[in-house]
Amino acid sequence: MEQFDLLVIGFGKAGKTLAGKMASLGKKVALVEENPAMFGGTCINIGCIPTKTLLVAADKNWTFDQVMEQKETITTRLRNKNEMVLKGSGTTLIQGSARFTADKVVEVVAGDERLEVTAETIVINTGATSRVLPIPGLTETAHVYDSTGIQNLETRPETLAVIGGGNIGLEFAVLYNKLGSSVTVFEAGSAILSRDEEGVATMAKGYMEEAGIRFVLDAKIEQVASQGEQVALTVNGETQVFDAVLYATGRVPNTADLGLENTAIETLPNGAVKVDDYCETTVPGVYAVGDVNGGPQFTYTSLDDFRIVFGKLTGTGTYSLSQRKSVPTSIFIDPVLSRVGLTEKEALAAGFEVVANELPVANMPRGHVNNDLRGIFKVVVDKKTNLVLGATLFGRNSEELINLIAMAIDNKIPYTYFKTQIFTHPTMAENLNDVFNF
């Protein structure tokens, strides 16, 4: 049995950062990853980076082959960089599949080779995997893909069905629409973006429909089957045929094959590892970080988990999950839809006396400069305290601007700061002057 100070299972954002930092402090650290194509984690290889690279390349009107080649170039570069940085920190990289055999004992298997490892501190960093709904034929039918597979097609499908109208499904619907595919989104609910401002959600759906994306709401997928070289989808009693199908019905914590049944590590009903305020599991010295612990499934919250665990292990901080502040989000449709804090409906339900204001992008000078007048900014303020409760920014560069709103919320900066702040011109940011001017 090999002994380490720290053992990290999985090459995701929180784990790899923690491994590198602890190794630089002189700790004996090992990181286990079973798939070399995942060196660097989900974000770099199958998540944020490749998908946004695909969207940017598609906007340049490149061919399908050029778009896919660009994605491979970027992900390969970053994957190799992450491997070099990790090894350069002094961390031992072990390739293989990790499985607990006891609370602090992990068996790593690679082919016929087996290695037993123990450590004073173990960090579970195995991420999440695509949720597979119990739809007959879904996983057995050719040309049916999850969010990873749909990024690696060799040819562009003329017709694409997307099962699921959530963030992932919508981003791929927009991407393949830009690439020239005829896209139909099947959503089980009565609306898409149901957690966002209703008017903004309606506007976003309208833009996607104008671009050629078709939506089927209240959709019950009854069966998936092969029909020649195509896929037959039976929805609400009717069958439609597509060249390819993407199922994007959420992601679930990746714990199924970790051998947690051999330990006292408890899980939640959704399979996530149960953790306390410092990401520590029910076994002292074993932590779970990133998507696997049931928190928000974002790279930046995974990095925040790193901060929590690093502070706990080194005694350099007391920051914890309960102290986590605003978490902004962006959906990379066209234009980008970003949000932080409460919607107007949520603020009213929480008992706030609300003042809300909207500013269409069509009223923004930079919108005219960009020749893109789509979208709207909406802000929600507490009338009693003048504090910002939330914002929805739907328009060009919203993924950048939303962070300014998050900082204001976290630091209790009154909305009046924005109405008098000097911004550069002509920019999208300067429109915060006007949307907060009430």
pLDDT in tens, the chain (438 residues): 899 999 999 999 999 999 999 999 999 999 999 999 999 999 999 999 999 999 999 999 899 999 999 999 999 999 999 999 999 999 999 999 999 999 999 999 999 999 999 999 999 999 999 999 999 999 999 999 999 999 999 999 999 999 999 999 999 999 999 999 999 999 999 999 999 999 999 999 999 999 999 999 999 999 999 999 999 999 999 999 999 999 999 999 999 999 999 999 999 999 999 999 999 999 999 999 999 999 999 999 999 999 999 999 999 989 999 999 999 999 999 999 999 999 999 999 999 999 999 999 999 999 999 999 999 999 999 999 999 999 999 999 999 999 999 999 999 999 999 999 999 999 999 999 999 999
Q: What are residue 3's DSSP bridge partners?
A: 118
Q: What are residue 144's DSSP bridge partners?
A: 245
Residues 31, 91 contacting (CB under 8 angstroms): yes
The DSSP symbol for 272 reads: P
Q: What are residue 231's DSSP bridge partners?
A: 226, 242
Q: Which of 148, 162, 154, 181 is nearest to 50 (CA)?
A: 148
Catalytic residues: 425
- DSSP codes joined into one string, 18-85: HHHHHHHTT--EEEEES-GGGTT-HHHHTSHHHHHHHHHHHHTT--HHHHHHHHHHHHHHHHHHHHHH
Query: What pLDDT is stored for residue 404 in this prediction?
Result: 98
Q: Is domain 144-247 annotated with CATH 3.50.50.60?
A: yes
- Burial class of residue 391 (count of CB atoms within 10 Å of its CB; 0-12, 13-18, 19+): buried
In which residue are the tokens 């930079």 written?
366
Residue 205, helix vs strand vs coil: helix
Superfamily per CATH, domain 2-129+251-323: FAD/NAD(P)-binding domain (3.50.50.60)
Enumerate the CATH 3.50.50.60 domain ranges in the chain, comma separated: 2-129+251-323, 144-247
Compute and round to an integer the Cα radius of gyration of the chain. Answer: 23
CATH topology (fold) of 329-435: Enolase-like; domain 1 (3.30.390)
Query: What pLDDT is stored for residue 197 in this prediction?
Result: 97
Q: Which of 326, 298, 335 is nearest to 405 (CA)?
A: 326
Enumerate the CATH 3.30.390.30 domain ranges in the chain, comma separated: 329-435
